[in-house]
Amino acid sequence: MSKEGGDMRWHSFETHSATEWPVRVVDVPHPSASQLNYCFIELSVCPLLVVWNSDGVVRTRFLVQQSAEAALAALQQDYPGHRWQAVDQDPYRMAALLEGQGSSVTQPIPVVVSGTPFQRAVWATLLKVPSGQVTSYGALACASGFPRASRAVGHAMATNPIPWLVPCHRVIRHDGQLGHYSYGSDLKRQLLNWEAALAQTKESNR
């Protein structure tokens, strides 16, 4: 089964096995890091603001109709009292991951997510959906152990603090339609088509 999106075909995760997305959730019950580092990554699809501490990535934000300064100021309001340090280099080679060079990411990228037990369970399950594939809200609910919670899964996607690394854009409606995305359907389609094209190229080169 596959989902039609523009000129690309998005393969359903339920019927297409592949390597998991190289991102892991770090459990930090009592975060103590008071310094936050940040950088802006120029990706082919859309610029991305990445914020991390000594434990891992804590926030990402796509710069959609928003300046870098405005995006940073919005996130800084969520972390009062923290020291912010601009860093020139992408610490985990995230740009290489999105550009299809996942083999250069030798260790899973650590992400620190805070949320309800339900949200954390859903986000952790979502990491099993690799680049180039999609799943539905209902299928993700079942895989997470909550078969009747597809609507709540949609809310978990909407409140995801680390979009792209926690790939909520890979969750679509059961009828193949895109569904909601916090950064707009255009970017969601671009991300899915970009990942599908990379997966297709990788498959052709085998």
Look at residue 39 in the predicted model and tell me its pLDDT.
Answer: 95
Predicted confidence at residue 50, as pLDDT, reads: 95
Output the domain CATH number for residue 57.
Answer: 3.30.160.70
Contact between residue 177 and residue 153 where contact means Cβ atoms under 8 Å apart:
no
Residue type, 43: L
Predicted TM-score (pTM) of this structure: 0.85
Domain housing 89:
35-109
CA distance 165 to 67: 21
Active site residue 168: yes
71 and 53 share one domain: yes
- What pLDDT sits at residue 15? 39
Q: What is the mean pLDDT of each run of 10 residues along the chain (206 residues)?
A: 49 49 75 83 89 93 92 92 90 75 69 91 92 93 95 95 94 91 94 88 72
Number of domains observed in the structure of the chain: 2
Give the pLDDT confidence score for residue 22 in this predicted structure.
80
User: Which residue in the list 39, 46, 142, 168 is annotated as catalytic?
Assistant: 168
| Residue 8 sits in the same domain as residue 57 | no
Q: Which of 77, 109, 141 is the last residue of a domain?
A: 109
- Which is nearest to 106 in space by CA: 97, 114, 118? 97
- Do both 52 and 100 map to the same domain? yes
Statement to judge: residues 133 and 194 lie in one domain: yes
